[in-house]
């Protein structure tokens, strides 16, 4: 492995392996990887689920699950070898003191029965002889640093009283209590909304500079690493397949997996609507003996030697290497292959299929049995048109009312006022069966949206059976055609959902939605539970199907690169209102509403070397129970004035874009400065 002699390394790992014995064989979660991190730098470990990136981090601190076995030639942390350190030594000298750690799940990573203050203080008092009062001071100081308003009173609160973003800030403050030399952040922002993600990453970067920390950032998101990491290590199936300086690796990837991964990212290739370069197949499970290259089965360039021999490590220059046989044959040409499918045609009849007019929905929420009922305005005067054949993306942060809107569009939630019409007919007056034939949903989580006790065949034929369409044999025939259409192998017809991979499950969910030939498909975050390489397959499929079957999509997502890739038009929601709606390019590149502006600013495209943007929003997404007066966005808006605080703006059309903002005409120029 390349060892750059310049700069002292804080962490040097050689030949780290993690194996988990299973009933029949051994899962090789991490396979002999070597890593080096220089003091004060950030190393990004990137990979899809199952690549072993989290295991690597846990192995470092020896926090692996009890069954897992770790081996390493050396784990050198600041000159001391941790390989043979006992649990007691690690606990008393390293963990929480010199190496801090932040985990992915902010909702479950804090102890629910103890106050925030206690959890922060004990991190310090456990390791040092400090008084509770001093620890308290440090806790307040750090909570202030991580941007939690009113830190002193936060200390008395319990985790369940905080939002996900706030909890993650507490986690960060907790990891920093003892000024660790190394911070390991395992998917620190994955569960969070984009604006909060940008805030947290921005914060981590600032803190890193201030405290001179080194950092390991583990993520599946290439956009995040491209901006936050100095060095990058790409992991695949337990091995580091490519490594080097971030800009170098991302601009000039050498391993076919890195190249494939980059081609999978919507928007990375430049023009939207180009077919994404999906990596076929799925990550093989690394059990037993592994011969050849683990990526060979999915590699477009694999030669015979790749299947039999372990690939060599090729060092381009010190610190920059990749592990590949480099089969020479037309390497460059094939890498460009996905472009052949070309740009999608965009048939556009422009006829409105679905119209949402002034829909308002108010829930009355009661806490506990005797609590007071309080109103929650889920939707406030929402209007929307969906034209035949178009893809309308609906974006917004959690709690903004996206789900309620889709439910009312599917007729599952009766609006209090306003109407939803489908082909000119009121959705509430359509018989449920007819409505179901015209609108079908595809949900986020294919793990829970398919009945685990039914076979794939039964799941896909079920809608036909419910609607009594055709004889049993015809139904099964139709289901098979659907499976072919969505690219599901027919052999899974009699399989159960848990025997399928995530991507296959989502394909089954799509087949189930399409089997009734609906006109409108509501896609509710259809790819956010999937890995990027699989996401690319599904996005390609959805666009192909739209062209083939003349479908209309309402595409709910929080991922702006997906919006950029898929949408014709974009609607932005905030606190139950559509604050901006218009053409994709207009909304995304010249946003008129300050919230859209912040949202677009927070999107982390892959741009090595560029810094993490500050979304410029103050505060957190408000609790929908306490809607601010006037314009609901004014407490976070950087350009709000007296009028915004007192009066709610109405919808206004500017350059074909609908905006709800008092300062829409001038916002653009004001925000840029």
Q: Which residues bind other proteins (CB under 8 A)?
A: 61, 63, 65-66, 87-88, 90-92, 94-97, 100-101, 103, 105, 108-115, 122-123, 126-127, 158, 160-161, 171, 174, 367-371
Give me the least distance between CB of 163 and other proteins, in Å please. 15
Give me the least distance between CB of 368 and other proteins, in Å please. 4
Q: Encode burial over 69-78: b for 16+ CB neighbours within 10 A, e otherwise.
A: ebebeebbbb
Query: In terms of DSSP bridges, do strands 231-236 and 239-245 run parallel, antiparallel, or are they unpaired?
Result: antiparallel
- The angle at the Cα of 69, spanning 67 to 72, to the nearest 5 degrees, equals 160
- The smaller minimum CB distance to other proteins, of residues 103 and 555, is found at 103
- The smaller minimum CB distance to other proteins, of residues 168 and 408, is found at 168
- The smaller minimum CB distance to other proteins, of residues 110 and 479, is found at 110
- The smaller minimum CB distance to other proteins, of residues 82 and 573, is found at 82
- The smaller minimum CB distance to other proteins, of residues 55 and 394, is found at 55
Contact 603, 615 (CB under 8 A): no
Integer CA distances (angstroms), 377 to 265, 557, 578, 632, in order: 36, 21, 13, 11
- The smaller minimum CB distance to other proteins, of residues 65 and 489, is found at 65
Give me the least distance between CB of 22 and other proteins, in Å please. 14
Give me the least distance between CB of 141 and other proteins, in Å please. 18
DSSP state of 649: P
- The smaller minimum CB distance to other proteins, of residues 160 and 346, is found at 160
Residue whose structure tokens are 């949903």: 441
- Return the closest-CA partner of residue 267 out of 585, 660, 610: 585
Give me the least distance between CB of 129 and other proteins, in Å please. 14
- The smaller minimum CB distance to other proteins, of residues 155 and 459, is found at 155
Give me the least distance between CB of 531 and other proteins, in Å please. 21
- The smaller minimum CB distance to other proteins, of residues 55 and 306, is found at 55
Q: Is the dihedral of CA 594, 595, 598, 603 positive or negative?
A: negative
- The smaller minimum CB distance to other proteins, of residues 49 and 417, is found at 49
Give me the least distance between CB of 184 and other proteins, in Å please. 8
3-state secondary structure of 491: helix
d(CA 538, CA 536): 5
Joined together, the tokens standing for residue 430 give 């359509």
d(CA 649, CA 647): 6
Give me the least distance between CB of 367 and other proteins, in Å please. 6
Give me the least distance between CB of 21 and other proteins, in Å please. 12
Sorted by sequence, the CB contacts under 8 Å of residue 411 that are 6+ apart come out as 420, 427, 428, 430, 432, 435, 439
Q: φ and ψ at 639, to 5 degrees?
A: -120, 20
3-state secondary structure of 492: helix
Contact 634, 640 (CB under 8 A): yes
Burial class (CB in 10 A: 0-12, 13-18, 19+), 470: middle
Give me the least distance between CB of 175 and other proteins, in Å please. 8
- Return the closest-CA partner of residue 512 out of 458, 460, 469: 460
């Amino acid at each position: 492995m390349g060892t750059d002699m310049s700069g002292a390394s804080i962490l040097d790992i050689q030949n780290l392996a993690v194996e988990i014995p299973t009933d029949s064989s051994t899962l090789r979660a991490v396979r002999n990887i070597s890593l080096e991190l220089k003091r004060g730098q950030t190393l990004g470990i990137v990979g899809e689920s199952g690549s072993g990136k989290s295991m690597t981090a846990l192995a470092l601190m020896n926090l692996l699950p009890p069954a897992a076995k770790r081996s390493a030639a050396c784990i050198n942390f600041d000159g001391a070898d941790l390989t043979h350190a006992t649990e007691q030594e690690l606990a008393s000298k390293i963990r929480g003191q010199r190496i801090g750690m932040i985990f992915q799940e902010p909702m479950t990573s804090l102890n629910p029965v103890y106050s925030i203050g206690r959890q922060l203080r004990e991190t310090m008092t456990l390791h040092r002889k400090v008084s509770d009062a001093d620890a308290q001071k440090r806790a307040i100081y750090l909570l202030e640093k991580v941007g939690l308003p009113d830190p002193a009173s936060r200390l008395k609160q319990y985790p369940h009283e905080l939002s996900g973003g706030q909890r993650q800030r507490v986690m960060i403050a907790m990891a920093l209590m003892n000024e660790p030399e190394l911070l390991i952040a395992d998917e620190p922002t994955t569960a969070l909304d984009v604006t909060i993600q940008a805030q947290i990453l921005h914060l981590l970067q600032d803190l890193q500079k201030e405290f001179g920390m080194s950092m390991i950032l583990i993520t599946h998101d290439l956009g995040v690493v491209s901006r936050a990491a100095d060095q990058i290590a790409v992991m695949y199936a337990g091995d580091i397949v490519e490594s080097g300086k971030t800009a170098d690796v991302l601009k000039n990837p050498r391993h076919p997996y890195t190249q494939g991964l980059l081609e999978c990212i919507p928007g990375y290739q430049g023009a939207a609507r180009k077919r994404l370069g999906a990596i076929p197949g799925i990550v093989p499970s690394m059990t037993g003996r592994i011969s050849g290259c683990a990526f060979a089965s999915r590699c477009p360039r694999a030669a015979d030697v790749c299947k039999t021999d372990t690939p060599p490590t090729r060092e381009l220059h010190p610190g920059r290497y990749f592990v590949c046989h480099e089969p020479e044959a037309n390497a460059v040409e094939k890498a460009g292959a996905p472009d052949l499918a070309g740009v999608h045609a965009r048939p556009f009849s422009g006829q409105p299929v679905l119209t949402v007019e002034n829909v308002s929905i108010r829930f009355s929420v009661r806490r506990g049995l005797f609590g007071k009922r309080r109103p929650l305005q889920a939707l406030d005067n929402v209007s929307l048109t969906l034209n035949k054949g178009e893809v309308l993306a609906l974006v917004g942060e959690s709690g903004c009312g996206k789900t309620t809107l889709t439910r009312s569009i599917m007729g599952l939630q009766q609006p209090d006022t306003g109407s939803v019409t489908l082909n000119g007919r009121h959705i509430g007056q359509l018989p449920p069966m007819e409505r179901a034939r015209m609108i079908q949903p595809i949900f986020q989580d294919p793990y829970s949206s398919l009945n685990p006790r039914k076979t794939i065949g039964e799941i896909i034929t079920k809608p036909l059976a419910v609607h009594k369409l055709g004889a049993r044999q015809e139904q099964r025939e139709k289901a098979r055609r659907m499976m072919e259409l969505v690219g599901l192998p027919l052999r899974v017809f009699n399989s159960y959902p848990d025997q399928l991979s995530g991507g296959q499950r989502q394909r089954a969910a799509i087949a189930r939605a399409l089997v009734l030939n609906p006109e409108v498909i509501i896609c509710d975050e259809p790819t956010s539970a999937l890995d990027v390489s699989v996401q690319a397959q599904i996005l390609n499929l959805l666009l192909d199907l739209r062209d083939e079957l003349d479908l209309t999509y309402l595409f709910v997502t929080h991922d702006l690169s997906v919006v950029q890739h898929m949408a014709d038009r974009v609607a932005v929601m905030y606190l139950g209102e559509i604050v901006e709606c218009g053409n994709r390019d207009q909304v995304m590149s010249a946003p008129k509403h300050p919230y859209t502006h912040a949202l677009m600013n927070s999107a982390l495209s892959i741009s090595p070397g560029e810094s993490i943007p500050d979304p410029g929003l103050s505060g957190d997404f408000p609790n929908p129970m306490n809607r601010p007066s006037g314009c609901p966005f004014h407490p976070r808006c950087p350009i709000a004035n007296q009028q915004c605080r007192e009066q709610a703006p109405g919808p206004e059309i500017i350059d074909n874009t609908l905006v709800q903002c008092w300062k829409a005409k001038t916002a653009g120029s004001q925000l840029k400065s």
